[in-house]
Amino acid sequence: MLANVLTEDTALPDSDATSKEEVMQALLDMLCRTGKVSDPEQARLDLEANERRMSMGMEHGIAIPHAKTDTVRELIACVAVTRNELDIGSLDGRPARIFIMTLSPKGATGPHIQFLSEIGKRLKQRAVRQAMLDARTRGELLQALLG
């Protein structure tokens, strides 16, 4: 599933974001450029609402902002790695550099859960995370994540 959703157009290996807000906007902008987000402002509000319910910050420097929203017809996702470590209120209290954002339709639970499960399995592997941090091109970043 990951290879069907993530492309070089939705990968950013060297983001210069210096705050949680900047990286969130960069990720949302990347998704909006796909032409698959009907209402960027509503998508942002849905992401923020989900963030208030639970932190996007996981462990090991990973953040997975996600939301179910009426602004998309199918699951879409993007990935970014930041140059800077960003304090985002992660579960382990550590800063994050690896960000994967996904939006999916409110009525489609299966693809959303499948995507988050696959991402979780890949990112549990230290070698995958390190390869993502080392990636310099969009292709390298996708290769590191997708294997």
Kindly report the CATH class assigned to 2-146: alpha beta
pLDDT digits (tens, 9 = 90+) for 57-90: 888 999 999 999 999 999 999 999 999 999 998 8
Is residue 77 within 8 A of residue 102, CB to CB? The reply is: yes
As a dihedral over the C-alpha atoms of residue 38, residue 23, residue 119, residue 55, rounded to 10 degrees, the angle is -100
DSSP code per residue over 76-142: EEEEEEEEEEE----TTS--EEEEEEEEEETT-HHHHHHHHHHHHHHHT-HHHHHHHHH--SHHHHH
pLDDT tens digits, one per residue of 99-131: 999 999 998 878 888 998 999 999 999 999 999
List CB contacts of 109: < 8 A, sequence separation 6 or more.
none
pTM of the model as a whole: 0.94
The conformation of residue 57, written as its DSSP 8-state character, comes to B
- Residue 142: CA count within 13 A, CB half-sphere: 16
| Residue 89, pLDDT score | 85
**Is the pLDDT confidence value at 41 over 90?**
yes
What band does 91 get if pLDDT is binned at 50, 70 and 90? confident
Assess whether pLDDT exceeds 90 at residue 55. Answer: no
